[in-house]
Structure 1
Amino acid sequence: MSQGIDKVADCLPLLPLKDIVVFPQMILPVFVSEDICMRAVDAACAKDRFIFLSAFRSEINREHDTFFELRVSTPPPFDVYDVGTVASVMRTRKLPDGRTKVLIQGVSRALILGLKQSDPYPVVSMKLLLDKEITQEGEALCRSVKEQLEKIVPFGRSISPDLLMLIEDVTDVGRLANLVASNLGLKIVEAQKVLATSDPFERLRKVHTLLLRELESYTSQSRGYSHSKEESAKSQREQYLREQLKALKHELGELDGKEEVEDLKDKILKTGMTSEAQSECLKQARRLERMNQDSSEATLTRTYLEWMVDLPWTKVSDSKIEMSHCKKILDEDHYGLEKIKDRILEYIAVKKLNPDLKGPILCFVGPPGVGKTSLGRSIARALGRKFVRISLGGVRDEAEIRGHRRTYVGAMPGRIIQTLKTVGTRNPVMMLDEIDKLGADYKGDPASALLEVLDPEQNHSFSDHYISVPFDLSQIIFLANANRLDTIPAALRDRLEIIEVSGYSEEEKSEITRQYIIPKVIGQNGLNPDLVQFQDTAVNLVINSYTRESGLRSLEKHIATITRKLARYIAENDEKGKDRKLVKVTPKIAKELLGEERYFSDDHDIYKKRIGVGVGLAYTQAGGEILELEVTLMNGNGKLILTGQLGDVMKESAQTALTCVRALAKDLKIDADKFTTQDIHLHVPAGAIPKDGPSAGIAIAVALVSAFTNQYVSQDVAVTGEITLHGRVLPIGGVREKVLAALRAGIRKVCLPDKNRGSFSELPLTIRRRIDVRFVTKLDDVLKVCFENNEFASGSSSDGENNQSRQERTSKSVDNISAANG
């Protein structure tokens, strides 16, 4: 069909193809169902029967767009590869299902220059890509390709004999490449790369590479089949010898596995298991005696008995409780956390006075890296018991807690029983790590399965599905830790005593780093503590400029980075024969070793006053953060626009703040028309991070008042609290984390709800001395702090007057009572 190729027009109808690349000299049927494609075929038949074919670029192959051969320049929906094939429509036929069968033959490669029209059918302008003349090197490559193609046929590759005869007579390099590539069953990307290669010799070389790959694949499969056949023969021979051995033992009067079963029976009687468990194990042992020892059921029974005899039915750790020793260990392992240590010592004291008491299950809740797991390890060390940790993060299967029934293939006990076997005692301290990250799916709810484990009234007879007999868990001291409480089911949370482990202040981090982290890291990196010293200013630089977290993990990583670099420096000097000298880590050296600072104290400019920006405080899983709530006004009709990925509660809080400010517009000296003639846009930066909660309500109100009155807001004041429609400020949670976040940002003045006085008074004195806290009850109190030139009085002043008069009356009555008593 190469006749008339010189008469091909510069513009041809385009027929996009799915999942196939057509090569020149290739004859195949194409099934067309779309109307636009059928019109393109009809247009080709009505003219010179030439049509342009090219494959669609699929989503899977978009990652290969960097290859020149896979370039696509036409816009969707006709995003086909630039290099395609000019083909001749040989004949068409309508099918009963409405499709049209089009028989085509590839004529020549061509390149799309542009899309001329897309309606009623696509037409592209193109130019033909003709192959160069053959060279002697090309003849050698042709012979090699033909030889490789003949080698593939014996492996079962379906290549017709007619094609092999045809290829024998082909001497043209480009035509041979097209014929072989069209019959290799290549993927779309590989076939397109071959088609788009302009040099025929290079095109044939790619085909030759693909042929070698196919041949290697078939050879590997053949070797694998031979290996499998040999393994099968070996397995049959072993089975035959095993049967012979069994027959010989039977003639000698020996029962296979009898000694093993007797040994298991002795262990069952010596382990001290309960009578119910002992009865079940002896029953299974008798069944095992009657079984064929090579059967799968015998293997399952033997595994079950081995699990049962390995469990610590009576083994316990000897624990002698001394309160002074326990306090010493807690102080050695943890700095600060006085309130938490006191609660742990109370727990240990009760255990000492009443060992049989079913005490509460302590759950440490706090940000990552504050020492929740290490607290459990310290409790175990103080009690003289073994410590084990079970990670529950991502557990979704109830069988992880209760185990699988023995009827299942590969059945095993749950994690509780597995851990007891590993630790070897029945009274360890067991930490349930990440209990807030338990999942649930069609396989069950592991959180519900934990209810029995953690209930002191039930866990003395815990039933694991695998062992199928009660096991006493009452002597285990269960502890738990979590990052958040809201994801723990209510029934499970009810069984826990929550102990909040808050983040550390800068002073606490500095002290912990000097006392614990630096000696630990120096020892881990093989350094001499006498030769490496960290200056306090260097430690403070790492804390403030390279970490911003409530815990200590990132801080420890940065300290470890410094010591590793020092270890390398000392090791290199040792090789050079230099004497070791004292290395003092100064702020300058720390910055050189850690690189540029990641955090700056001027991220939030506390000295710059801004209009429409309120500074709020947020509590996250990672600790506290400050929020800059930005409000701007635009001409409109009073619509409230919220951006920054806010949650439903925060959206409602913003609406409440706007309604409150609008209701108090007269007292705040705000023109009421602004609420109907201007749109309000509230944005909370860091839009990729979800935000929710009501505690930003008062900060939103401050930003709204600033925007409507055009007054500057002091940026050295952070506020937090839930606002009501009447301007009252309600209490919030996470006071410690929010106060620490303000201090990290350089803010020294914070407005807290008056009902949070108790939470603030529990903070360490070192933190309370560094911050100026104003306790507020209404919006007016907040505005007086945030606006230096406060020329308005809040509409809630009447409430304040009522409160004042009420307080005066109370004061007078107290005075009268005192006078009467006097």
Structure 2
Amino acid sequence: MSIFKKTEERPRNDSVEGLREMIASAFLPSHVREIALREIELLSRLQSTAAEFSIGMTYIEYLLSLPWNKKTEDILDIARAERILDERHYGLKAVKERIFEHLAVRTLLKNRRASILIVDDEEIARKNLEHLLKKENYAVDTAVNAMKALEKMSASAFDVVISDLKMEKVDGIALLEKIKTRYPHIMVIIVTGYASVDSAVATIRKGAFHYITKPFKLDEVRDTVKEAVEKRFSLVSPKGSVLCFSGPPGTGKTSLGNSIAEALGRKFVRISLGGIKDEAEIRGHRRTYAGALPGRIIEEIRRLQTSNPLIMLDEIDKIGEDFKGDPSSALLEVLDPEQNHSFIDHYLDVPFDLSQVIFIVTANVAENIHYALRDRMEIIEFSGYTENEKVHIGLRYLVPKQIEQVGLSDYPPEFSPEAVMKIIQDYTREAGIRDLERQIASVCRKIALKFVHT
């Protein structure tokens, strides 16, 4: 992407035709592909020296660089997660139990057989899809029209509905609206041979999970249904899926988030929210000028190249607002599971699914968080450590870490519990352990200096 890369990192093929080939070969969601092709058509009518040409090229390159269909598989191993968290973090029983609950739910859902309903007035289309999906071990039922489909949904539970767009009496769009009104948890995939950008965008905005054009590729159908099933199962989780770690500085909130990501096998990124007042930091800037940028959420997902990282939003209690907008309202769309499946960054101007992302937020004082945000969080208090807990953490974690960092691993000094307690009582005044680590580091450096001199 021209404005997001150094000059030497820019792709050599900057031609419109080159981008058209990249779009054709990329595995993009259908609605994203249609929008990208529409942008290509607009660019083909512009002079390459026009400012709009550069803006359009950069936008298409950015769309192509996003991990629309890339994600990291969760490591569903509770014993491994227990080992990682216990090795790196002392206590925190409530937090660890919450992570183990998440793993247990994911494990059960992964082993559940999904139920799919195919709605199409063409018998051959119904039978072909039914045959394909039964081979993938799904429980499959069919309906000849929208009314029959609604009757079956009232009698049986379905996870995914695959519907043709053009049908007599009640078409796919009308069926989609009825499903989202009565059964909002069901994932709906629209299939049609009458593809257009407007119809693709309309179905996505009305709540469709995906939009597939005929004649479709079998791999595309398999992958789309698999993603829809995973999305459906991800909605079934304990309440309070957004964890909020609340407590004073130095109590291990950020490091625990990193360890949780490792335990789950996900990529981790921390985004500091302290002091931001512009909602464009979250939602991005509109593409009206060459310097427009996406929001920080989308940019970090692009950088990590996975659509389901663990994102830690740090210091959420310190965000503000001014004439540039309210970041809290933007974060509400990001964190609310009822909205974030189709989050729209102003720069992208196309829905991006954030429902697979695990969000953990941190705050020093949970009461300072905007009430609408706080209502969607499960707040876990990180109280300050007792002196005995600090001694345990110091001997088990901080002392070995500092000994290694100053090069004393071959000649490790011994720290007694009494010595660590002396440091805590006489040289630190905090609820956390940051100052304790600094003091232990200072002692280790003095020992290293004395060792070298002798």
Q: Which whole-Å CA distance do the structure 1 matches of 2:293 and 2:43 have between them? A: 19
1:533 and 2:414 are equivalent in the alignment? yes
Does the CA-based 8 Å contact 1:400-1:414 persist in structure 2? yes
Give CA-to-partner distance per residue, 1:150-176, whole Å, 9 cap, x none. Answer: xxxxxxxxxxxxxxxxxxxxxxxxxxx
User: What is the aligned counterpart of 2:105 among 350, 366, 386?
Assistant: 350
DSSP-derived class of the 1:367 partner: coil
Partner of 1:375: 256
Give CA-to-partner distance per residue, 1:46-81, whole Å, 9 cap, x none. Answer: xxxxxxxxxxxxxxxxxxxxxxxxxxxxxxxxxxxx
User: What is the aligned counterpart of 1:327 among 82, 99, 109?
Assistant: 82
User: What is the aligned counterpart of 1:478 among 359, 365, 381?
Assistant: 359
Partner of 1:430: 311
- The offset of 1:550, in angstroms, is 1.0
Q: Which whole-Å CA distance do the structure 2 matches of 1:452 and 1:557 have between them? A: 39
Q: How does 1:696-711 map to 2 (within 5 A)?
A: none
Q: How does 1:755-794 map to 2 (within 5 A)?
A: none
Q: Which whole-Å CA distance do the structure 2 matches of 1:529 and 1:482 have between them? A: 40
Q: Which whole-Å CA distance do the structure 1 matches of 2:452 and 2:303 have between them? A: 40
Partner of 1:289: 44
| Letter of the structure 2 residue corresponding to residue 390 of structure 1 | I
1:317 and 2:72 are equivalent in the alignment? yes
- The offset of 1:291, in angstroms, is 2.4
Q: Which whole-Å CA distance do the structure 2 matches of 1:538 and 1:327 have between them? A: 30
Does the CA-based 8 Å contact 2:275-2:319 persist in structure 1? yes
Q: How does 1:665-684 map to 2 (within 5 A)?
A: none
Q: Which whole-Å CA distance do the structure 2 matches of 1:509 and 1:305 have between them? A: 52
User: What is the aligned counterpart of 1:460 among 313, 329, 341?
Assistant: 341
| Letter of the structure 2 residue corresponding to residue 440 of structure 1 | E
| Letter of the structure 1 residue corresponding to residue 433 of structure 2 | L
Q: Which whole-Å CA distance do the structure 2 matches of 1:294 and 1:572 have between them? A: 67
Does the CA-based 8 Å contact 1:271-1:313 persist in structure 2? no
Does the CA-based 8 Å contact 1:319-1:385 persist in structure 2? yes
Q: How does 1:165-564 map to 2 (within 5 A)?
A: 260-354=15-109, 356-358=233-235, 359=237, 360-528=241-409, 530-564=411-445
Q: How does 1:569-718 map to 2 (within 5 A)?
A: 569-573=450-454
Does the CA-based 8 Å contact 2:285-2:292 persist in structure 1? yes
Q: How does 1:104-123 map to 2 (within 5 A)?
A: none
Give CA-to-partner distance per residue, 1:15-72, whole Å, 9 cap, x none. Answer: xxxxxxxxxxxxxxxxxxxxxxxxxxxxxxxxxxxxxxxxxxxxxxxxxxxxxxxxxx
Give CA-to-partner distance per residue, 1:561-616, whole Å, 9 cap, x none. Answer: 1112222333344xxxxxxxxxxxxxxxxxxxxxxxxxxxxxxxxxxxxxxxxxxx
| Letter of the structure 2 residue corresponding to residue 321 of structure 1 | L
Q: Which whole-Å CA distance do the structure 2 matches of 1:268 and 1:416 have between them? A: 24
Task: Give % identity.
Answer: 52
Give CA-to-partner distance per residue, 1:638-666, whole Å, 9 cap, x none. Answer: xxxxxxxxxxxxxxxxxxxxxxxxxxxxx
DSSP-derived class of the 1:432 partner: strand
- The offset of 1:267, in angstroms, is 2.5
Q: Which whole-Å CA distance do the structure 2 matches of 1:258 and 1:570 have between them? A: 59
Using a 3 Å threshold, how does the CA distance of structure 1 residues 259 and 424 change in structure 2: closer, same or farther? closer
- The offset of 1:269, in angstroms, is 2.8
TM-score scaled by length of structure 1: 0.38
Q: Which whole-Å CA distance do the structure 1 matches of 2:251 and 2:321 have between them? A: 28
Using a 3 Å threshold, how does the CA distance of structure 1 residues 429 and 259 change in structure 2: closer, same or farther? closer
- The offset of 1:297, in angstroms, is 1.8
Does the CA-based 8 Å contact 2:403-2:412 persist in structure 1? no
Q: Which whole-Å CA distance do the structure 2 matches of 1:517 and 1:562 have between them? A: 12
How many equivalent pairs are there?
Answer: 317
- The offset of 1:337, in angstroms, is 1.6
Give CA-to-partner distance per residue, 1:73-105, whole Å, 9 cap, x none. Answer: xxxxxxxxxxxxxxxxxxxxxxxxxxxxxxxxx
Q: Which whole-Å CA distance do the structure 2 matches of 1:538 and 1:277 have between them? A: 61
Give CA-to-partner distance per residue, 1:355-376, whole Å, 9 cap, x none. Answer: 6233411111111111111121
Does the CA-based 8 Å contact 1:363-1:481 persist in structure 2? yes
Q: Which whole-Å CA distance do the structure 2 matches of 1:511 and 1:390 have between them? A: 30
Does the CA-based 8 Å contact 2:54-2:290 persist in structure 1? no
Q: Which whole-Å CA distance do the structure 2 matches of 1:498 and 1:382 have between them? A: 21
DSSP-derived class of the 1:290 partner: coil
- The offset of 1:409, in angstroms, is 4.2
- The offset of 1:352, in angstroms, is 2.5
Q: Which whole-Å CA distance do the structure 2 matches of 1:267 and 1:432 have between them? A: 34
Does the CA-based 8 Å contact 1:271-1:314 persist in structure 2? no
| Letter of the structure 2 residue corresponding to residue 470 of structure 1 | P
TM-score scaled by length of structure 2: 0.67
Does the CA-based 8 Å contact 2:261-2:267 persist in structure 1? yes
Does the CA-based 8 Å contact 2:51-2:290 persist in structure 1? no
Q: Which whole-Å CA distance do the structure 1 matches of 2:410 and 2:18 have between them? A: 54
Give CA-to-partner distance per residue, 1:239-272, whole Å, 9 cap, x none. Answer: xxxxxxxxxxxxxxxxxx9863233223323332
Q: Which whole-Å CA distance do the structure 1 matches of 2:314 and 2:106 have between them? A: 23
Does the CA-based 8 Å contact 1:402-1:413 persist in structure 2? yes
Q: Which whole-Å CA distance do the structure 2 matches of 1:301 and 1:393 have between them? A: 33
| Letter of the structure 2 residue corresponding to residue 348 of structure 1 | L
Q: How does 1:721-736 map to 2 (within 5 A)?
A: none
Partner of 1:180: none
Does the CA-based 8 Å contact 1:396-1:446 persist in structure 2? yes
DSSP-derived class of the 1:389 partner: strand
Q: Which whole-Å CA distance do the structure 2 matches of 1:500 and 1:396 have between them? A: 26
Does the CA-based 8 Å contact 2:398-2:437 persist in structure 1? yes
Q: Which whole-Å CA distance do the structure 1 matches of 2:392 and 2:13 have between them? A: 65
Structure possessing the higher relative contact order (Cα contacts under 8 Å, 6 or more residues apart) = 2
Does the CA-based 8 Å contact 1:367-1:483 persist in structure 2? yes
Using a 3 Å threshold, how does the CA distance of structure 1 residues 267 and 572 change in structure 2: closer, same or farther? farther
Does the CA-based 8 Å contact 1:430-1:476 persist in structure 2? yes
DSSP-derived class of the 1:533 partner: coil
Using a 3 Å threshold, how does the CA distance of structure 1 residues 258 and 415 change in structure 2: closer, same or farther? closer
| Letter of the structure 2 residue corresponding to residue 527 of structure 1 | L
The structure that has the greater radius of gyration is 1
Q: Which whole-Å CA distance do the structure 2 matches of 1:350 and 1:529 have between them? A: 45
Does the CA-based 8 Å contact 2:234-2:356 persist in structure 1? no
DSSP-derived class of the 1:474 partner: coil
Q: Which whole-Å CA distance do the structure 2 matches of 1:468 and 1:484 have between them? A: 34
